Amino acid sequence: MTEQPEIYPMPAFPTLAVRDLDASVRWYCDGLGFQSVFAMPGMAHLRWARYADLLLRPGPATADKKGAGITLNFAVTDVDTVAARAKAAGATFLQEPGDRPWNARDFTLADPDGFALTFTMGPLKRDVSFEDVMKGARGK
């Protein structure tokens, strides 16, 4: 018997319109490690972690860049492991893994429909104050 995923109210729940629902579910689950909460005709509910869920539904293909200006962010404990898994699955990286001035390590990739996903790990240095992080991010 498999454990049923927990269902709870979501403070924010992005819904992505995708060209091929089954292919996108496989990409998110097999390529990145998302878990399927449930699926039904025309909809799939996926989970990265508690309160980090996505709803995928079929949507028309468009010539415009989907999600332009929107990036979905996911917290991880090991950026490089997730990046390696995504790379092995053929993900398109928009920004390679790297340490950032805001005291985090992250990378950004595009899903098969062009939605940007950023996976972040941090803080990298726990003994640095928020003010010092902000100064470093501003280059001061």
Least confident of 5-9, 40-44, 77-81: 5-9
Q: Does residue 87 lie in a domain region? A: yes
Residue 92 lies in a domain: yes
pLDDT at 1: 46
Asked if the structure places residue 115 within a domain, the reply is: yes
Residue 45 reports pLDDT greater than 60: yes
pLDDT: which is higher, 84 or 5? 84
Predicted TM-score (pTM) of the model is 0.81
**Residues whose CB falls within 8 Å of the CB of residue 112, separated by 6 or more in sequence, listed in order:** 18, 19, 20, 23, 24, 27
Residue 50 corresponds to which amino acid? R
Q: Which domain holds residue 114?
A: 15-59+67-137
Residue among 100, 101, 49 nearest 77 (CA)? 49
> CA-CA distance, 84 to 10, in Å (whole number)?
29
Asked whether residue 36 is domain-assigned, the answer is: yes
Q: How many domains does the chain have?
A: 1
Give the integer Cα–Cα distance in Å for 125 and 104: 8
Strands 92-100 and 104-110: antiparallel
In this predicted structure, what is the pLDDT of residue 124? 85
**Residue 133's CATH number:** 3.10.180.10
Residue 78 within any structural domain of the chain? yes
- Asked which of 14-18, 44-48, 67-71, 117-121 is least confident by mean pLDDT, the reply is 67-71
- Residue 53's DSSP bridge partners are 47
User: How far apart are alpha carbons 116 and 107 in whole angstroms?
Assistant: 10
Residue pLDDT, tens place only, 63-100: 566 666 678 899 999 999 999 999 999 999 999 999 99
Q: Is the pLDDT of residue 106 over 90?
A: yes
Residue 123 falls within a domain, yes or no?
A: yes
Is residue 85 assigned to a domain?
yes
CA quadruple 32, 36, 39, 43: dihedral positive or negative? negative
The answer as to whether 91 is a domain residue is yes
